[in-house]
């Protein structure tokens, strides 16, 4: 293993590099990561020991290979993947800014995106607020007391904090984080859910309605501790936006008192608000979209589906297994499945992403689980989601097709994306259907189809 001082790279770049290394012939284990406590512990689990004096801002490169040639080839690959060559700075050109605040003073900006390890996110986000910027905090593992202080500071200054752990936003037509390519339109979203927002915006785009803005607020915003501070700010911002004719709030169930607070605030707005709060007795997200379309006078289209040309596996009664990358899509599926024997797993949860990239970026873990469930498990049907858009795996169907072709049980796919996404939604759907999967643009429709198969229909 090797320690490189002063060689910082963001976590997504390092995880992708580690995955590429692990795929090389002769490489049996690989890790490229900054030397945080979490990554040092992960390194120990892999049988590596970093030298004494390693600091959190050092880069760890650990490779185990079958022989010296494979090891040397892997080292060359690391250098290629992590090369950061840049042109020399011309005379008189100022040095790049070293802080968020100094960067804000150089350009005409309104939003700062913070994506650093959680323990350091507070300082950068506060620096952005001090510079008069709204902030999207992509980072997770931010202490809740830091989130509260950031949002109280933002409220005093009339600014918005999106996050922490805000994975998706669209501001002024620009997608931030995991965002789909959607047309502009009259509906604004306030979302305490990343993939929930992506499902809603994708269906709105399919209907030709589009969105004005998508303002993520972080999954804890509607908790009792945070009390909807960013949701209230986002509602006011969209209410003041002349391009927004309808506001949709998307979230998992809020704390009861916070739900009452948000609904009361919504009633005071000039812009109508539709709530899409998942929970017992609530509407699924597809129904929320349909109601929103009817409110603005846009016809509800038939939601696309792509079915295999032949029945690959006759349905038989048995358990339904769900392997999801999106937490909200997973929860929606569990609610729809109800009493049908099922087990829904969110593989994007923190316990599965420790030391590895999110499954929307790196599908390795889910591919392993999918192969196991469809060839040797007791599942009668397996349901998965595929989430497209910027930041996601560039060609998810390429990895899924071989596994689906070998499956011994039906596979149903919830495909969340738009025709404008870089992966090509229709191309992805056609490849998955040709392999034998039933594919639906609506997560609710996909789940209901999977339930019917699990019940033997």
CA distance readout (Å), 161 to 91, 132, 165, 302, 303: 38, 12, 11, 36, 34
Q: What is the pLDDT of residues 245-256, one digit of tens each?
A: 999 999 988 999
CATH among 3.40.50.261, 2.60.120.380, 3.30.420.40, 3.40.50.300 for 100-295: 3.40.50.261
CATH topology of domain 2-81: Alpha-Beta Plaits (3.30.70)
d(CA 150, CA 130): 11
Nearest to 359 by CA among 202, 178, 176: 178
pTM score, whole prediction? 0.87
Highest mean pLDDT among 191-195, 293-297, 356-360, 363-367: 293-297
> Which residues 6+ apart lie within 8 Å of 200 measured at CB?
189, 191, 248, 250, 276, 285, 288, 289
Judged against a pLDDT cut of 90, whether residue 119 lies above it is answered with: no
Fold match, 100-295 / 305-454? yes
Q: What is the pLDDT of residues 413-435, one digit of tens each?
A: 999 999 999 999 999 999 999 99
The mean per-residue pLDDT over the stretch 197-212 comes to: 97
Tell me which of 21-25, 72-76, 407-411 is least confident. 21-25
Q: Could you give the angle at which helices 285-295 and 194-206 cross, rounded to 10 degrees?
A: 50
Judged against a pLDDT cut of 80, whether residue 70 lies above it is answered with: yes
Of the pLDDT bands very low, low, confident and very high (cuts 50, 70, 90), residue 86 is very low
Mean pLDDT of the chain: 91
CB 31 within 8 A of CB 43: yes
CA distance readout (Å), 40 to 14, 108, 272, 351, 353: 14, 40, 50, 17, 15
Query: What homologous superfamily is domain 305-454 in, according to CATH?
Result: Succinyl-CoA synthetase domains (3.40.50.261)
Count of Cβ atoms closer than 10 Å to residue 180 Cβ: 27
Sheet containing 2-4, strands listed edge to edge, beginning at the edge strand earlier in sequence:
2-4, 59-65, 27-34
What is the pLDDT, as a whole number, of residue 88? 55
Judged against a pLDDT cut of 80, whether residue 11 lies above it is answered with: no
CB 149 within 8 A of CB 177: no
Q: What is the pLDDT of residues 287-305, one digit of tens each?
A: 999 999 999 999 999 999 9
| Domain definitions of the chain by residue range | 2-81, 100-295, 305-454
Count of Cβ atoms closer than 10 Å to residue 401 Cβ: 18
Alpha helices in 326-424 (DSSP H): 327-337, 350-353, 364-375, 396-406
The mean per-residue pLDDT over the stretch 119-148 comes to: 93
CB 298 within 8 A of CB 208: yes
Count of Cβ atoms closer than 10 Å to residue 165 Cβ: 22
Of the pLDDT bands very low, low, confident and very high (cuts 50, 70, 90), residue 89 is low
What is the pLDDT, as a whole number, of residue 325? 94
d(CA 48, CA 70): 18
What is the pLDDT, as a whole number, of residue 125? 96
């Amino acid at each position: 293993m090797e320690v490189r001082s002063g060689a910082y790279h963001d976590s997504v770049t390092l995880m992708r590099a580690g995955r590429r290394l692990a795929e090389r012939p002769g490489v049996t284990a690989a890790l490229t990561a900054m030397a945080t406590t979490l990554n040092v512990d992960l390194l120990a689990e892999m049988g590596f020991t970093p030298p004494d004096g390693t600091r959190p801002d050092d880069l760890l490169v650990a490779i185990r290979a079958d022989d010296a040639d494979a090891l040397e080839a892997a080292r060359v690959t690391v250098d290629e993947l992590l090369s950061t060559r840049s042109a020399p700075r011309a005379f008189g050109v100022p040095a790049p800014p070293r802080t968020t605040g100094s960067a804000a003073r150089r350009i005409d900006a309104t939003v700062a995106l913070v994506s650093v390890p959680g323990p350091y996110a507070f300082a950068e986000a506060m620096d952005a607020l001090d510079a008069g910027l709204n902030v999207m905090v992509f980072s997770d593992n931010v202490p809740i007391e830091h989130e509260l202080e950031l949002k109280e500071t933002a409220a005093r200054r009339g600014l918005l904090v999106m996050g922490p752990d805000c994975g998706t936003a669209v501001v002024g037509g620009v997608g931030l984080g995991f965002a789909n390519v959607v047309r502009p339109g009259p509906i604004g979203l306030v979302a305490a859910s990343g993939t929930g927002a992506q499902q809603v915006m994708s269906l709105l785009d399919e209907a030709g309605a589009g969105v004005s803005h998508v303002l993520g607020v972080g999954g804890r915003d509607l908790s009792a501790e945070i009390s909807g501070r960013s949701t209230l700010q986002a509602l006011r911002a969209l209410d003041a936006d002349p391009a927004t004719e309808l506001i949709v709030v998307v979230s998992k169930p809020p704390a009861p008192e916070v739900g009452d607070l948000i609904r009361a605030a919504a009633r005071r707005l000039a812009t109508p608000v539709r709530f899409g709060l998942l929970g017992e007795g609530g509407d699924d997200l597809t129904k929320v979209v349909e109601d929103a379309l009817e409110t603005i006078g846009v016809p509800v289209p038939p939601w696309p589906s792509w079915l295999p040309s032949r029945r690959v596996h006759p349905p038989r009664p048995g358990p339904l297994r769900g392997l999801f990358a999106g937490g909200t899509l997973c929860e929606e599926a569990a609610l729809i499945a109800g009493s049908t024997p099922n087990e829904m797993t969110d593989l994007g949860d923190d316990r599965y992403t420790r030391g590895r990239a999110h499954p929307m970026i790196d599908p390795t873990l889910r591919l392993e689980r999918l192969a196991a469930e469809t060839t040797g498990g007791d599942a009668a049907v397996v349901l998965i989601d595929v989430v497209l858009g910027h930041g996601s795996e560039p060609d998810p169907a390429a990895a899924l097709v071989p596994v689906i072709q070998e499956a011994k049980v039906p596979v149903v796919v919830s495909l969340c994306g738009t025709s404008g996404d870089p992966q090509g939604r229709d191309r992805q759907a056609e490849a998955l259907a040709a392999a034998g999967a039933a594919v639906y643009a609506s997560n609710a429709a996909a789940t209901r189809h999977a339930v019917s198969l699990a019940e033997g229909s």
